[in-house]
Amino acid sequence: MRYQFAAVRGDWYDDNWLVIDGTVTTPEGNWSFTDPCLLTDEARQVTSWLRAVAAGTVSATKPDGDGELSPDTEFIEPLLAFSLANRNEDGAAVIRVHLSLEASPPWQQGHDRATVYQYVVEMRMDTAALLHAAAQWDLALMPFPSR
């Protein structure tokens, strides 16, 4: 949506925090969040990750022995992360969007950090949809170069 701070402050972190706006619709309910949760360089990693999934170079991750999920791509602020759940025989990918803390659903908020990355929304996306999502993400980031 915007930089967290409109004016450059001379601090690389403060100058490059992006406010991300998300709307989530699931069978359990709908919610939205707006939070400064990605640095400009981190936001660009999302595009790279989507393209890597489309190219088939990302391996699926399974829950660990305790049933905990770990994302493939995570960021300084643990509100948003991504992982590949699996790849179907037709080449479509099932990606997980991990939502934590302020980005988690209202009925999950207030839980401790032990729940970070454990609430996921899974999406089935074919190669064309992954590449389209990467292109749209790039377009959204164009007004926000690293400062």
Q: What is the pTM of this model?
A: 0.91
pLDDT exceeds cutoff 90 at 139: yes
52 part of a folded domain = yes
Sign, CA dihedral 50-56-57-58, equals positive
Give the mean pLDDT of the chain: 93
Domain annotation covers residue 48: yes
Whole-number pLDDT of residue 75: 96
Burial of 23 (0-12, 13-18, 19+ CB in 10 A): exposed
Strand partners, 80: 99
Asked whether residue 147 is assigned to any structural domain, the reply reads no
Q: Which of 48, 40, 125, 42 is nearest to 91 (CA)?
A: 125
Going 53 to 56 to 58 to 60, the CA torsion angle's sign is positive
Domain containing 131 equals: 2-141
Residue 137 domain-assigned (yes or no): yes
Does 57 fall in a domain?
yes
Strand partners, 2: 19
Q: Round to whole Å and give the CA distance between 115 and 86.
A: 22
Share of the chain above pLDDT 90, in %: 82
Answer whether residue 146 is part of any domain.
Answer: no
Is 82 inside any structural domain? yes
Number of domains in the chain: 1
What is the average per-residue pLDDT within 119-143?
96
Would you state the torsion angle of the CA atoms of residues 139, 20, 119, 44, taken in this order, to the nearest 10 degrees?
40
What would the two tokens of residue 23 be? 């709307």
pLDDT tens digits along 77-128: 999 999 999 998 888 999 999 999 999 998 887 666 557 888 999 999 999 9
The C-alpha atoms of residue 79 and residue 125 are separated, in whole angstroms, by 22
Residue 123 placed within a domain: yes
